Structure 1
Amino acid sequence: MTLIRFRDDEAHEEPAVTLDSFLGQSNATAVRLETGEDARALLPHLDRLALIEVAFPTFRDGRGYSAARILREAGYKGELRAAGNVLIDQVSHMRRCGFDALASDSPLDPDAVNAAIARYEHVYQKAADGRQPVWALRHG
């Protein structure tokens, strides 16, 4: 598994527990959301989480993007990791949704990842990555 991080802090090494296990215990600081699990269940616990790993079992399943947006818009500041079938074509969208770490089942070239993120100079809407939309840059 290839791990690429866009954070300056240390990688969280504690294994991520399932959502059900997390909700049933009080000491875990890392949780894994599987496909179809509701990220909103974590909202009352965001302050104690250092890592939320979101499963991408197939590149065709976009529910993980929604989970990332829900968590970032709720104020989650910890590491948000996309894990599983992460493809280079998805990287820029994952970053815009708030993912700041990628754990791909396939090898990812860090240079290609950075090139994918930098590929589009302008964006058209606000997102979790903080980039300003082109209209805001031009018209204030």
Structure 2
Amino acid sequence: MIRFRTDAPPQSPPVPLADFLGASNATAVRLEPADDARALLPHLGRLSLIEVAFPKYRDGRGYSAGRILREAGYMGELRAQGDVLVDQLPLMRRCGYDSFAPDAPIDDAALTRALDRYPDVYQKAADGRAPVWALRHG
């Protein structure tokens, strides 16, 4: 697991969204690609982990789920799990993901290169980095 948080990892396993919404007292939930992240909005304050499934690298629905949750104010751990490739990590970080559970191991050197490759960004996102135009023109 790759983690960009300083707090302790959640100990409880994530439950499927349907089980969570069915009166569960769980503090960790798992979203599948077809699940609507907005169903969690009333419960964000009690969740310590939201794990979003990425069954195929080409399925981008998880990016939207991450952005929806972060823009709604979710502050807990947001984990991308599944077919997560090293070159996707910078974009996932921009969408608010702060931990990753890839199916295949990711080399530390490749991870560092991927995260450091583009020092400038061009629009605001969940990671809070200032766009290059805002830095140059205020």
TM-score range, shorter chain: over 0.9
Structure 2 gap ranges (5+):
none
For residues 110 and 25 of structure 1, do their structure 2 counterparts lie closer, same or farther at Cα, with a shift above 3 Å needed? farther
Moved more, 110-119 or 34-43: 110-119
Percent of aligned pairs with the same amino acid? 69
The structural deviation recorded for 1:41 is 0.1
Counterpart of 2:126? 128
For the residues of structure 1 that align with 2:108 and 2:83, how far apart are their CA atoms? 16
Number of paired residues?
A: 138
For the residues of structure 2 that align with 1:32 and 1:86, how far apart are their CA atoms? 16
Counterpart of 1:111? 109
Describe the superposition over 1:56-91 as per-residue Cα deviations: whole angstroms up to 9, x where unpaired: 000010000000000000000000000000001101
**2:69 is the counterpart of 1:71:** yes
Counterpart of 2:54? 56
**2:10 is the counterpart of 1:12:** yes
The structural deviation recorded for 1:109 is 1.8
**2:50 is the counterpart of 1:45:** no
Moved over 4 A (4+): none
Root-mean-square deviation (CA, aligned residues, Å) is: 0.8
Counterpart of 2:32? 34
The structural deviation recorded for 1:25 is 2.3
Describe the superposition over 1:15-37 as per-residue Cα deviations: whole angstroms up to 9, x where unpaired: 10000000012410000000111
The structural deviation recorded for 1:113 is 1.6
TM-score, normalised to structure 2's length?
0.97
For 2:118, what is the secondary structure of its paired residue? coil
TM-score, normalised to structure 1's length?
0.96
Comparing both chains, which one has the higher relative contact order based on Cα–Cα distances under 8 Å and sequence gaps of 6 or more?
A: 1
For 1:82, what is the secondary structure of its paired residue? strand
